[in-house]
Every structure is written in C-alpha cells, then in structure tokens.
Amino acid sequence: MANSAVKSVFAPGLFKSRVAIVTGGGTGIGQAISRELAHLGCSVVIASRKADRLAAAAEKLAVDCREGARVHHTVCNIRQEADVQRLVSETLDKFGRLDFLVNNGGGQFVCPASDMKLKGWNAVIETNLTGTFLCIREAHRQWMKRNGGSIVNIVMDAYKGWPMFAHSAAARSAVENLSKTLAVEWASDRIRINCVAPGIIYSETAVANYGEQGREVFLRSKARVPARRFGHVEEISAAVAFLCSPAAGYVTGQTLYVDGAVSLYRTQFFDVPEFEPAEGWYWEESSKAKL
Ligand SMILES: CCCCCCC/C=C/C(=O)SCCNC(=O)CCNC(=O)[C@H](O)C(C)(C)COP(=O)(O)OP(=O)(O)OC[C@H]1O[C@@H](n2cnc3c(N)ncnc32)[C@H](O)[C@@H]1OP(=O)(O)O
Ligand SMILES: NC(=O)C1=CN([C@@H]2O[C@H](COP(=O)(O)OP(=O)(O)OC[C@H]3O[C@@H](n4cnc5c(N)ncnc54)[C@H](OP(=O)(O)O)[C@@H]3O)[C@@H](O)[C@H]2O)C=CC1
C-alpha cells in the first residue's frame, strides 16, 4: 500500500466499517473531508457533477483508505431530485449502510444584488439550499430514519451577511436554520445535524473560481482575519470528523465557525464606499451631535 499523507489527530479506525456520502468530494474541502474519513476507516461515496474530477480524486483517495475502507464515485447534480435519490440508493446497494452525510457541494459567484438575474439567484439557491435539503431528506427517507446518523452541512461565514454574495449568504443561513429545525424534529430518530462554517480556506479550486479577484482576497486575508492567515482544508475536515465522531454525541443543531475569528471582525472583501450620510433624527438644534 502506498504511503498516505494524512496525519489525522483522530484515533486510527475511529470510523471503521462506517459509510459516508460527501457531496463535492472530488475537490478542495470535500476531498480533504473524504480523505480524512477514509483514513479513519470510513468508506466514502464522493458525488458531484464532473465525472473526470471525481474519477481522478477517487484514484488519489484510494491511497489513503485504511481498515478496509473503499472510495466510490458517482455523478450527481444535487439540484436534480432523481440524481439525489439514486446517489443514496446506490450508496446503500454498494455499502449496505449510511452513517454520515456531508453536504459540502455548493458555490456561488460574486455579484451585486441589484445586478443579479433571477436565473443566477435560482442557480445558487437551488444548489446550496434545495440541493442540501434533497440530500438530507433522501438520506432520512432511505436510511437514517430507521438507523440514525450524523449530518454535517458545510455553509459559509454568513453571520454578518456577505455583501456581493446575497444569494449564497441567504441560502447558507437557511441551511443553518434547517439544521436547527431538524436537530429537534429528528432527535428521536437518533440523527444529529450540524453545520461547519469555513472562513477563508485555501484550495486551488476555490481560488480559481474567482480569478484574480479571488487571489487578492486570499492574499488580503492576512490583514483582515484576526488569525492573520487563511485556513487549510484539513482544518475543515478535522471539524467534520469531530462532528461525526462519538465525541460530538451531544452536539446537534449547532454551527461551528472555523474561520480564525473573521466572523467577529471585518467583512472579508467589502468596504462600504464613501457617501454623504443621511441626516439623523433630532428634535431640537441644540440636541444635534456636534463632535
Ligand atoms: C471575490 C473572492 C471571494 C473569495 C471568497 C472566499 C471564500 C470562498 C467561498 C467559497 O465558497 S469557495 C467555493 C468556490 N466554488 C464554487 O463556487 C463552485 C463552483 N461554482 C458553481 O458551480 C456555480 O457558480 C454555481 C453558483 C453553483 C452555479 O452553477 P450553474 O452551473 O447552474 O451556473 P451557470 O450555468 O454557470 O450560471 C447560471 C446563471 O447564474 C448566473 N451567473 C453565473 N455566473 C455568474 C457570474 N460570474 N456573474 C454573474 N452572474 C452569473 C447567470 O445568470 C447564469 O445564467 P446565464 O445568464 O449565463 O444564462
Ligand atoms: N474555500 C472557502 O474559503 C469556502 C468554501 N465554502 C464552501 O465549502 C464548499 C466546498 O468549497 P471548496 O472546496 O472551497 O470549493 P470547490 O469549488 O472545490 O468545491 C465545490 C464543490 O461543489 C461541487 N458542486 C457544485 N455544484 C454542485 C451540484 N449542483 N451538484 C453536486 N456538486 C456540486 C463541485 O463539484 P462539480 O463541479 O464536479 O459539481 C465541487 O466539488 C462549498 O460549498 C463552498 O461554497 C464556504 C466558505 C468558504
């Protein structure tokens, strides 16, 4: 067996004989999550739209499998209900169970809200909110309702909104709320459901998605993130492994921010432009602020 580069902090064999679906598992954060789960003994089904990227990733991930884990890849557009139904049934046919669902597949484009076309808005809502919902619902219907499980949704740092990402910030906040709702609705099915909100996490695909503008934002994160650096994909996969593990057995309905505290600080790449502020409200000239 070739050497694995994975240096997980979790115990070897932690997820032996477990099975996970990781959407968007062929690239970036999703690939790191799949790698760490497979290294810990979990068989993983990676699923997204582009067959070539999935096949290449599955080949790489095979090197990291331990304790009998296997990686299977399958094409699935999470916006298509029939694709999602087949993703879950194929996983059950192949591996016989489904312990973890990691809803990582998603994305957006930069666009001022007033320029956004309905088609673009719908594409992002359908991917990040509806696609996530379909995966969750299908996992529940076909397996987790009777057998329990852990669901982790990768969202984004939308705590203070995200200018120029109105579509995605709205969708991700909706996923956070959906997770709170289902943490209660499905508690009796022994299902835990949590979110991980990555800050600025470096991956080749994430940077490439935004071209030169993306490079600048990643470089600028040194100044804008309290931790003074961007994050690594392994810092997200460790958070997901924790949330899937028995150590998080009492954690559900929560969002874990893995963001170097940027959610508590300045927005990553948007500055309010200079403008003439509106006159404030006061009753008498003498009460007008004069500093
Ligand atoms: C500025 C830097 C910011 C740094 C942020 C750092 C934090 C990182 C956060 C991340 O999330 S990194 C992850 C990056 N990866 C992705 O975003 C995944 C790849 N993206 C996609 O798959 C797609 O963008 C999508 C959003 C999921 C949409 O998929 P779909 O294939 O359906 O879209 P299209 O057919 O391409 O377009 C549909 C529709 O959307 C509008 N649109 C698309 N791109 C743009 C754009 N660049 N600007 C404005 N509008 C856009 C448009 O209306 C498209 O329809 P048409 O008009 O072209 O017919
Ligand atoms: N990197 C970062 O700083 C941050 C990332 N995130 C989120 O983390 C997740 C992973 O991002 P990251 O790894 O950085 O970027 P990537 O662009 O590498 O990952 C996005 C993944 O989503 C998949 N995907 C997109 N649309 C669909 C769809 N309709 N059906 C199935 N799969 C789909 C893509 O695969 P394919 O094209 O083959 O379909 C790809 O594998 C995304 O949801 C992203 O928005 C959130 C905050 C910050």
Alpha-carbon distances, residue 56 vs 27, 40, 208 (angstroms): 10, 21, 18
CB count, 10 Å around CB of 275? Answer: 6
Does the Cβ of 29 fall within 6 Å of ligand 2? yes
Quick one: the chain helix, strand, coil %, rounded to 5?
45, 15, 40
Ligand 2 close to Cβ of residue 140 (< 6 A): no
Distance CA 149, CA 153 (A): 13
Per-residue confidence (pLDDT) for residue 2, from 0 to 100: 66
Please tell me the CATH code under which domain 19-287 is placed. 3.40.50.720
pTM score over 0.90: yes
- The ligand with the least distance to the CA atom of 125 is 1
Cβ–Cβ under 8 Å, residues 83 and 77: yes
Instruction: Provide φ and ψ at 218, rounded to 5°.
Output: -65, -40
Task: Identify which of 27, 60, 196, 232 to mutate to test ligand 2's pocket (most ligand atoms within 8 A of the CB).
Answer: 27
- Residue 47 near residue 22, CB atoms below 8 Å: yes
Q: Is the CB of 260 under 6 A from ligand 2?
A: no
pLDDT, tens only, 71-93:
999 999 999 999 999 999 999 99
**DSSP H helical ranges for 96-186:** 118-125, 131-139, 145-147, 166-185
Can you read off the two tokens belonging to residue 108?
Answer: 């957006």
**Reported ipTM exceeds the 0.90 cut:** yes
Q: For residue 71, how far is its CA from the centre of ligand 1 (angstroms)?
A: 28
Which residue's CA is minimally distant from atom 16 of ligand 1? 107
Ligand 2 binding pocket includes 78 (Cβ within 6 Å): yes
Report d(CA 59, CA 182) in Å as an integer.
Answer: 35
Q: Domain-by-domain residue ranges, the chain?
A: 19-287
The rounded distance, in Å, linking the Cα atoms of 244 and 38 is 13
The whole-number pLDDT of residue 259 equals 95
**Residue 117 burial (C-beta neighbours within 10 Å; 0-12, 13-18, 19+):** exposed
Residues lining ligand 1, CB < 6 A? 107-111, 117, 119-120, 123-124, 127, 156, 200, 206, 209-210, 213-214, 217, 269
Nearest atom in ligand 2 to 236's CA: 8
Determine whether the shortest distance from the Cβ of 28 to ligand 2 is under 6 A: yes
Lookup: tokens for 197: 């909100």
Nearest ligand 1 atom to alpha carbon 79: 32
Nearest-CA residue for atom 2 of ligand 2 = 201
Q: Ligand 1, from 108, 210, 220, 224: best to mutate by most atoms within 8 Å of Cβ?
A: 108
Instruction: Specify the residue with its C-alpha closest to ligand 2, atom 34.
Output: 24
* pLDDT less than 70: residues of the chain: 1-2, 268
